[in-house]
């Protein structure tokens, strides 16, 4: 590993840990992504994590609070890290090619298909509470079915 990679790993580890400590499974390789997406049953909440400020101040806190507040919860919590685990992120985005890539973003995958997608545009420049409440509403609708 070169010095730049080492430096970046140190910077992003707390960003990874924030979701992992909240119960998310990190998918770091294309194989891990493919296995989860093809074999998981039920509903997956997928966070495409990022180093940007809107991920730190909005997306991650909103997702963590939404999971706590939603009456109906997804069966699986997963995350990929855009810009860090590029191949895993590309593999994940391949499962919902109908939406343009953005990070951070939040996807809900249910029974083998994309059920809902919240792109960066619906996260950035919104209050954390708005993003959280949006996701709570979506989870309660999709996961209740």
* pLDDT, position 99: 95
Residue 143 among the catalytic residues: no
Question: What per-residue string of b and e applies to 43-66 under the rule 16 or more CB within 10 Å gives b?
Answer: bbbbbbbbbbebbbebbbbbbbbb
Query: Any idea which architecture 3-144 has in CATH?
Result: 3-Layer(aba) Sandwich (3.40)
* pLDDT, position 10: 86
Residue 52 among the catalytic residues: yes
Radius of gyration, alpha carbons of the chain: 14
* pLDDT, position 23: 97
Per-domain residue ranges of the chain: 3-144
Residue of 19, 27, 54, 138 with catalytic role: 54
Residue of 15, 19, 52, 143 with catalytic role: 52
* Tens of each residue's pLDDT in the chain, 145 residues: 788 888 888 889 999 999 999 999 999 999 999 999 999 999 999 999 999 888 999 999 999 999 999 999 999 999 999 989 999 999 999 999 999 999 999 999 999 999 999 999 999 999 999 999 999 999 999 999 7
* pLDDT, position 97: 92
């Amino acid at each position: 590993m070169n010095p730049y990679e080492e430096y970046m790993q140190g910077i992003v580890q707390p960003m990874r840990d924030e979701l992992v400590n909240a119960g998310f499974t990190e998918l770091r390789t294309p194989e891990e992504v493919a296995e989860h997406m093809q074999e998981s049953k039920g509903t997956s909440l997928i966070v495409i994590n990022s180093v940007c400020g809107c991920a730190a101040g909005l997306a991650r806190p909103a997702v963590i609070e939404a999971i706590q507040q939603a009456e109906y919860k997804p069966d699986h919590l997963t995350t990929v890290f855009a810009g860090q685990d590029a191949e895993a992120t590309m593999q994940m985005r391949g499962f919902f090619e109908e939406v343009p890539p953005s990070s951070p973003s939040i996807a809900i995958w249910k029974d083998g298909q994309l059920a809902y997608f919240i792109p960066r545009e619906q996260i950035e420049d919104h209050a954390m509470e708005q993003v959280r409440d949006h996701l709570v509403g979506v989870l309660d609708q999709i996961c209740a079915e």
